[in-house]
Amino acid sequence: MNNGKHRVSGTSVACCVGTGRVIRRDFVDIRSAARSNPRMTPPPKLLDRLRDACRVRHYSIRTEDAYHDWCRRFILFHGKRHPLEMAAAEINAFLTHLAVERQVAASTQNQAFSAILFLYRNVLAVEPGVIAGAIRAQRPKRLPVVLTKPEVRLVIDRLEGTYRLVAQLLYGSGLRLLESLRLRVKDIDFDRNEVTVRQGKGNKDRVTMLPESLKPALVEHLEKVRRLHEKDVALGFGGVYLPDALGRKLPGAATEWKWQYVFPSAAFSVDPRSGVRRRHHAHEGSMSREVTKAVRDSGVVKRATSHSFRHSFATHLLEASYDIRTVQELLGHDDVSTTMIYTHVLNKGGLGVRSPLDG
């Protein structure tokens, strides 16, 4: 880090060469100034500024909450010291604590690291220094849990109502759980047998297939959802969350049928960002619990989750000799190497080798 001064929210900051440590100089006690001048509006708190920075960049509410939580933990871990008083050494200590004491997964530690770097670079506008020497959690190589076709039927048969319909979409269309729950009425094209995923992982759109056998149940389900929507409108509600600035561009769209969620929540909730009370999509936690219970009741001994339906979708298409590039497109993978993980099931036994015991 170069020796110099950075101006951050009225605070003069000097950086020590080689240490990466940030020293605060001429810090103005803004709270005292605000008390002496009632007209002065106190600046937002640090973690509130973090949320604002996430929203400016159109980060999801989940990323925003995760970054907020990790930065709060980082500050509490070091005795509530301000991040401007800390730098690379303190970040290393926190990351090492996560790996050694908390024994977190590699992805969890990486998320914490990303959150702290975001705080320094995009909120405080300073470089924390070279992050080196921290003990990093090892990322193991994992194979996906894949169910056979009979196992898929066993699990789905133990689900009922909306849970069953969602599971059939996960397996029949290769959707992620949140992608299915965030579907809008307009995203399902019954004539073309297509499902359009909007703002999926990586904020990308894609098109996948709609199973022909699922159409009658889905039509019946949407009729129930329409009646629920009409009842909400009659009560003065019926509005739904619209992404980005669509709510301002299309003032009446929030109550239009085509924008409603295919799988709405059973109850109203308050939007954490806007404070508006409305019906959001169904919560993924309830679906995950039902799938776990269905797997247990079915007698399937694999550690399957709702995401296993997507793994099984890809694997069964490859077993049916569909081109891997086609499967890649349906799954929405950027790189075909990600899709290649599913080819492991195409090898019989130990990499296609016939056991001598069977000879």
Among candidates 336, 167, 188, which has minimal Cα distance to 262? 188
List all residues 6 or more positions away from 85 whose beta carbon is below 8 Å from its beta carbon: 22, 23, 24
Q: Is the separation of the CB atoms in 160 and 150 below 8 Å? A: no
Indicate the burial class of 90 (C-beta count within 10 angstroms; 0-12, 13-18, 19 or more). Answer: buried
Instruction: Give the catalytic positions in this structure.
Output: 176, 201, 307, 310, 333, 342
Given strand 11-15, what is the order of strands in its sheet? Answer: 4-8, 11-15, 22-25
Phi, psi of 22 (to 5 degrees): -100, 130
Among candidates 293, 290, 294, 266, which has minimal Cα distance to 280? 266
Q: Is the separation of the CB atoms in 287 and 166 below 8 Å? A: yes
Distance CA 332, CA 45 (A): 38
3-state secondary structure of 3: coil
